[in-house]
């Protein structure tokens, strides 16, 4: 997504760089909103990408066009407890394809954003007297 308008958002293709409108009737999911089912909890896609990057030492992963058995075995190495009943080969293909595209475009960023528990700029009502 590169911009917002009144009735749509403007998206840009990673392949061609072409910009186009995506209207409110179009179903769009941000990668940040996607998670992978596991036997314990859902794992955000960013964490899955990070695990792939760690396994591949920051390089590309296997092709999304690999055999189904190879894809499932690879994904099992990345996420051993992924839910094999709800995560399909087509899902694994998408994850690996997206990872490789983002890797090629140098758009994978695993730096941690610092979070603080302290509110900033809040008036506590206390005054100091000197």
40-82 per-position pLDDT tens digit: 999 999 999 999 999 999 999 999 999 999 999 999 999 999 9
Domains contained in the chain, CATH given = 1-29 (no CATH), 34-104 (1.10.10.1650)
**What CA–CA distances, in Å, run from 11 to 26, 32, 35, 64, 95?**
12, 16, 22, 24, 20
How much of the chain, in percent, has pLDDT values that exceed 70? 85
Give yes or no for a contact between 9 and 22, defined as CB atoms under 8 angstroms apart: yes
Give pLDDT, residue 6: 82
CB proximity list for 107: less than 8 A, separation 6 or greater: 14
Give pLDDT, residue 116: 43
- What pTM value is reported for the model? 0.78
Tokens coding 50: 């990070």
Give yes or no for a contact between 34 and 43, defined as CB atoms under 8 angstroms apart: no
Task: Indicate the range of 8-12, 33-37, 56-60, 99-103 predicted with least confidence.
Answer: 8-12
Does pLDDT of 122 surpass 70? no
Give pLDDT, residue 130: 42
How much of the chain, in percent, has pLDDT values that exceed 90? 58
Q: What is the mean pLDDT of the chain?
A: 86
Give pLDDT, residue 113: 55
Does pLDDT of 129 surpass 50? no
């Amino acid at each position: 997504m590169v911009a917002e308008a009144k009735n749509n958002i403007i998206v840009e293709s990673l392949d061609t760089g072409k910009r186009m409108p995506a209207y409110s009737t179009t179903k769009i999911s941000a990668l940040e909103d996607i998670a992978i089912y596991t036997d314990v909890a859902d794992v955000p896609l960013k964490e899955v990408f990070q695990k792939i990057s760690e396994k591949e030492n920051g390089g590309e992963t296997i092709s999304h066009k690999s055999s189904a058995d190879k894809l499932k075995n690879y994904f099992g190495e990345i996420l051993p407890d992924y839910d094999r009943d709800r995560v399909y080969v087509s899902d694994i293909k998408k994850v690996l394809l997206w990872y490789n595209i983002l890797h090629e475009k140098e758009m994978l960023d695993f730096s941690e954003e610092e979070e603080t528990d302290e509110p900033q700029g809040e008036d506590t009502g206390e005054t100091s007297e000197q």
